[in-house]
């Protein structure tokens, strides 16, 4: 498959252009030639030296990541920026990035993957950001307690042995759940307005403790990396359906 066709297919599937004005990430093809052929694609959460080296070692032609290397652009490619990017260019490895489009996709997205783990039904978009959404909400078939909700996530997510933390300020029976992966506590008020029992996200900010307590809502912090492995793994399956060889590079941070 041609690199341009691969990137175009992903852009269309993920509606990359629709997030252009609301995402600091330069989504789409960030590193790559105008022309190129793909047979083998690697997938990882983070576009960093370790995953670049992993893609090169796997003899991949491209690497697809959730967190890329360009956040609002940069003026110079020197120092650490040069050291990070140079191996991709020297080894002809393209880099494709999907940040918020991959958070918000209702089938392939990170929040959708967490919802699958929790067995949620009656799902709908959640986490409004401009005209788009970056999360998902739904209803559990059987109610969770805060402890059982944390245990379920801890057993199924790639937490790097990190404990899933729960702030138990809401109902004891949890059935209505909102999800914004990564750093999603800024959507606490939307979760309160939506009358869900819990907001599941990756990492929290200091203020969320008091905001959740005052609002009477449960918050679950399951890890930034751990909640954001699902999107790239779903794209890996999609690439396999397109006839490409794939490799997943797991580099958990424990954060």
Residues belonging to the binding site are 66-67, 103, 224, 228
Give the three-state DSSP class for 11: helix
The residue written with tokens 């199924």 in the block is 156
Q: Are strands 120-129 and 40-46 parallel, antiparallel or unpaired?
A: unpaired
Binding positions for a divalent metal cation are: 66-67, 103, 224, 228
Beta strands in the chain (DSSP E): 28-31, 40-46, 62-67, 94-97, 120-129, 132-144, 165-167, 174-179, 198-201, 218-221, 245-248
CA within 13 Å, CB half, 3:
20
In Å, what is the CA distance from 61 to each residue of 11, 49, 145, 186? 18, 16, 45, 37
């Amino acid at each position: 498959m041609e690199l341009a066709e691969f990137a175009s297919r992903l852009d269309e599937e993920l509606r990359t252009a629709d997030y252009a004005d609301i995402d600091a990430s330069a989504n789409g093809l960030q590193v790559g030639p105008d022309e190129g052929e793909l047979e083998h694609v690697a997938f990882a959460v983070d576009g960093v030296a370790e995953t670049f080296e992993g893609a090169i070692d796997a003899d991949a032609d491209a690497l697809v990541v959730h967190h890329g290397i360009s956040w609002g652009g940069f003026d110079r490619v020197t120092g650490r920026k040069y050291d990070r990017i140079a191996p991709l260019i020297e080894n002809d490895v393209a880099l494709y990035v999907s940040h918020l489009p991959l958070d918000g996709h209702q089938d392939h997205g990170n929040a959708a993957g967490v919802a699958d783990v929790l067995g949620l039904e009656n799902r709908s978009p959640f986490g409004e950001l401009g005209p788009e959404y970056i999360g998902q909400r739904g209803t559990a078939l059987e109610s969770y307690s805060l402890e059982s909700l944390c245990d379920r996530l801890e057993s199924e997510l790639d937490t790097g042995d990190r404990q899933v933390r729960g702030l138990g300020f809401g109902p004891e029976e949890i059935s209505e759940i909102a999800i914004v992966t990564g750093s999603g506590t800024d959507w606490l008020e939307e979760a309160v307005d939506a009358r869900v029992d819990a907001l599941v996200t990756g990492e929290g900010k200091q203020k969320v403790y008091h905001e959740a307590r005052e609002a009477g809502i449960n918050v679950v912090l399951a890890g930034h990396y751990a909640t954001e492995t699902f999107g790239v793994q779903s794209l890996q399956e999609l690439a396999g359906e397109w006839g490409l060889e794939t490799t997943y590079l797991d580099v958990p941070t424990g954060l």
